[in-house]
Amino acid sequence: MEKIFADPANESRKRDLGGKDPSEPELLKKIEQLEVELVQKEEKLLETDFLCEHVSRLTDRIRATAENGKQDTLLLAKRTSELQKKIKDRTQKMMALVAELSMKQALTIKLQQEVKDKEQFFMTVSSRIDQGLPPPKETEHEWLKVLRNEKMRKEAAEARAKRAAEEEQVAAPGRVHTTAEQRPNAYIPEDAYSLPLPRPYGAHAPFKPSEPSSHMRHFRKPTVKPIEI
């Protein structure tokens, strides 16, 4: 088959197609028609490009607006979070104030009741005194309590004054501040053969003994011998 179609002398290898070729005026008319259609297509293409450009500008504008909206949304979210935090803090403070107010009200009621009790007690004592009777036992107990409190305050004040004087004495020049207990540098004989006069220790002063433990009850108390000097 290839040889048949490749042979130029073979007349049967070609097949004429039907129809006729257009003339030159028809071809020119067809070309003009195609040129008109081409111009129309170009106009439509320009319109489409213009629309695309316009849509692109609108899209860019909308995108910029959306970006600005994101920033505004972020700022609004931050502001909302700050306001919520402030509201929470204010709520907690209000709850604390309400609780404190409740405590104050309870204390006020208690103090009012105490005032009423004191007034009733005062009226009772005044009535007994007017009748020539001694005051009740509660009055004596209260008076003893007042005296005891005054004595305790006085002792505390004296202790503070003594402590302040000791601190001033320790803070004097040449003195060393220490919280250790004063170690003894002398002893008093306790035997029957010596006078109870303080005698100094030797070069090696004794250490402060520790507290005896519970197992010391199993040992006998040693016999104290006189110290020879």
Comparing 213 with 146, the larger pLDDT belongs to: 146
Distance CA 52, CA 18 (A): 46
pTM of the full predicted structure?
0.33
DSSP characters over 129-148 = HHTTPPPPHHHHHHHHHHHH
Per the CB < 8 A criterion, the answer to whether 185 and 200 are in contact is: yes
pLDDT computed for residue 72 by the predictor: 81
- Among candidates 13, 31, 14, which has minimal Cα distance to 22? 31
Tens-place pLDDT, residues 118-168: 888 888 878 877 887 777 777 778 878 889 999 999 999 999 998 888 777
